Amino acid sequence: MILTRFAAVALLGAGVADAFYSIATTADIKATAADIAWDLLQYYKGNQSGQTPGILPGPPPAGDYYWWEAGAMWGTLIDYWKLTGDDSYNKLITDAMLWQVGPDKDYMPPNVTASLGNDDQGFWGMSAMLAAENNFPNPPPDQPQWLALAQAVFHTQADPQRHDETCNGGLRWQIPLSNNGYDYKNSIANGCFFNLGARLARYTNNQTYADWAEKTWDWVTSVGFMDAKYNIYDGGHVQNNCTDINRAQFSYNNAVYLLGAAFMYNYTNGDEKWKGRLTGLVDATITTFFPDNIAYEIACEEHMSCTTDMLSFKGYLHRWLATATQIAPFLAPTVLPVLKTSTEAAIATCAGEVNARTCGFKWTTKAYDGSHGAGQQMNVLAAVSSLLITQAAPPVTNATGGTSKGDPNAGMHSDNFKGELPPLTVGDKAGASILTIVMLVSVVGTMGWMSTGI
């Protein structure tokens, strides 16, 4: 069936994207998502002889992708399984996520140390948390379990060595002291930690996780990374007390915080404080990142100066907004129509010239833009799959059917890169957000935010 549809579009050309992919019915959504998932996994080589399981080709210059993006991809595919029921890739997902846990079973494998950030580790931890919340099939008993892996990531990040007094607290971007960017504290690293804390609090009903989430939110707002209008900015350098705020805005920052806020709203049984925060975040996110109700990456999309990392952000935006409507149902009337309109535009980009169903990035054009990659496919897969959110059960907890086994000591004995802080050097000032220096330089002209003396 897939070959027949593909051949038809190849003959008709790129102008028939709307006719090729449909989201008119549940069956159409599942068929469309199945095609896009298959095409996404053509970028994955880890199941081939001689390749490394679990990762996308990289990191640069060996390939386009940093380690974190594969962790995000497995999360996207776990949601795909949950929402569509297609278990074709479950073993692949499990094998990949277990291969990358590292010797201490905390998603800090030694081979990625040179570029290991709290956000990178956090994305793998959030995918493990998602597996627990979705009751994704548990690993064999002799392997680390999903909940325990999420706890290990959180516990390593809660270690006092990760939280110092510079900028009055908060996580740094990088974990090893020697990495460029260790002198930078940013929204995404702290957002992943906040997100995990909120979700672990709900899943385990353990107030300690919620206390950490609350503390992290308070720090992010106090330092100015999130303003009173719920704009979220990238970060700042410790040598400037985080006052040199990089005001670039990325959709995944908003997404990671709004999902965490939704979990805190749910955990606190609809507390008005969290309802207000969540509502403010959702409204700001739709205003900023959905012009004409279509997802748009404001930091880079106009001139297509987006890095490989940025090309995957729309998928997290769609997935986490959709999930938020499950655990904070009052959001559904506002959020779900926007996601549907955005998805209609997204599938219209799936009309590549070589592979006639390759999906592009600029959804507002409603036509293929010439770009392709794992991020673009992941985005559209997330958007399409998320249309089924109203037919899916909400995330479980250990009191509502969750089967994943936890470990309260997970991550407590990890090698947490402890050591004396080295003096700051000129080279240390090169850090910024999830992006490498090469990636940052590529977007200077678009964003105009690099006024910090980097």
Enumerate the domain spans of the chain: 33-348+373-447
CB-based contact 195:260 (threshold 8 Å)? yes
Q: What is the reported pTM?
A: 0.89
CB-based contact 66:428 (threshold 8 Å)? no
d(C-alpha 125, C-alpha 79), whole Å = 15
Residue 15 is predicted with a pLDDT of 37
Tokens of 145: 């379990």
pLDDT along the chain (454 residues), means of 10: 34 41 97 98 96 96 96 98 98 98 97 95 98 98 98 97 95 95 98 98 98 98 98 98 98 98 98 98 98 98 96 98 98 98 97 87 96 97 98 98 96 66 35 35 35 29
Per-residue b or e along 100-119, where b marks 16 or more CB atoms closer than 10 Å to that residue's CB: bbbebbbbbbeebeebbbbb
Residue type, 132: A
Residue 152 is predicted with a pLDDT of 98
CB-based contact 152:122 (threshold 8 Å)? no
Instruction: Kindly report the length of the chain.
Output: 454
Give the DSSP H/E element, type plus range, for residue 42: none
Tokens of 141: 């008993």
Instruction: Using alpha carbons, select from 352, 342, 300 the residue that is nearest to residue 322.
Output: 342
d(C-alpha 296, C-alpha 300), whole Å = 9
Residue 362 is predicted with a pLDDT of 98
Per 3-state DSSP, the chain is made up of helix, strand and coil in percentages (nearest 5) of 55, 5, 40
Instruction: Using alpha carbons, select from 97, 81, 44 the residue that is nearest to residue 381.
Output: 81
Class of domain 33-348+373-447: mainly alpha
Residue 417 is predicted with a pLDDT of 60
Measure Cα distances from 384 to 23, 256, 340, 449 in Å: 7, 19, 8, 33
* Site of tokens 């069956």: 27
CB-based contact 382:318 (threshold 8 Å)? yes
Residue 7 is predicted with a pLDDT of 32
